[in-house]
Amino acid sequence: EAGVAQSPRYKIIEKRQSVAFWCNPISGHATLYWYQQILGQGPKLLIQFQNNGVVDDSQLPKDRFSAERLKGVDSTLKIQPAKLEDSAVYLCASSPLTSGETQYFGPGTRLLVL
């Protein structure tokens, strides 16, 4: 079974630029999560989708971050414009509805904003 795929793995941008991350969850997984993990901290949930609907985005900075999950499969997370404090690893995870909510994580995208 293929795991959660994310791209790119690394990205360096200057502040005020925009950036997009892509995630392809495990096939058949209905739930998809985006997390932000700042160095020295645990993952912080940004947004959670169930199929193509948003179930929680309370911690998503909506003035600059956006995410979509068209057709309930893969997802993109965008930052526009980026700030220095957005430097972090962005993790995508997925889970099937019947797994007892175990999350399967991708390798993450490491973002550095200069």
Partner 1 sequence: AQSVSQHNHHVILSEAASLELGCNYSYGGTVNLFWYVQYPGQHLQLLLKYFSGDPLVKGIKGFEAEFIKSKFSFNLRKPSVQWSDTAEYFCAVKASGTYKYIFGTGTRLKVLA
Q: Nearer to partner 1 by C-beta: 25 or 108?
A: 108
8 Å CB contact between 82 and 15 = yes
Q: Nearer to partner 1 by C-beta: 55 or 112?
A: 55
Residue 44 found at the interface with partner 1 (CB under 8 A): yes
Buried b or exposed e, range 79-109, using 16+ CB within 10 angstroms: beebeeebbbbbbbbbbbeeeeeebbebebb
- Give CA–CA dist 67/57, Å, rounded: 9
Q: Mask: binding to partner 1, 45-74, rule CB under 8 A, as x and -?
A: x--x------xx-x----------------
Shortest Cβ distance from residue 19 to partner 1 (Å)?
21
| Footprint of partner 1 (CB under 8 A) | 3-4, 33, 35, 40-45, 48, 55-56, 58, 91, 93, 100-108
